[in-house]
Amino acid sequence: MADRTLPGRITYEHYRHFPDDGMRYEILDGVLYMAPTPSPRHQYASKNLRRSLEDYFEADGDYVVFNAPLDVILADADVVQPDLVVAARAQISDRGVEGTPLLLVEILSPSSIPLDRQAKAARYRVHAVPHYWIVDPAARTLECLRLVGDAYVLEASGSEDEHVAVPAFEGLTITLTSLWLR
């Protein structure tokens, strides 16, 4: 029987040998995390936000919008699978998205709140991800965070049926009512 123990610090090299077992694995600063399957409410928000992001970012052909599961390899010991990612075409490889993308979106699930709001946000700051958005389907909120210096600041937000205009992306407005499964 093969040895299935993991070293203390996980890297992409270890990660790429994990079985394709349908689980969603991520590495944050060398620590392995596993996420449960998203709920229908989560998937609905992801699907509809993706459509808005595709309409905006893919129009000129420079950027591509992906949804999970897709590896975003920020560094050897930081491999994440955000719910949505906006990356430059030049960053796309056979392995996934290489380096720091323009925008990462996490859609909260009850079990992922501390991970998304704290651990992932911290690693995204370290890797200077310029834009980090958090969608909370239970609270029906969107927070658009922008990296300023070494901290994320709230650039735009909204709840329920509001329209959120994102100052960093001229002309991008997210209609929140389209994100919530009723």
Whether the per-residue pLDDT at 175 is higher than 80: the answer is yes
Mean per-residue pLDDT over the chain, rounded: 92
Helix (H, G, I), strand (E, B) or coil at 160: coil
pLDDT tens string 156-170: 999 999 999 999 999
Task: Report the distance separating Cα 5 and Cα 175, nearest Å.
Answer: 46
Residue 18: pLDDT band with limits 50, 70, 90: confident
CB count within 10 Å of CB 177 equals 12
pLDDT tens string 108-161: 998 889 889 999 999 999 999 999 999 999 999 999 999 999 999 999 999 999
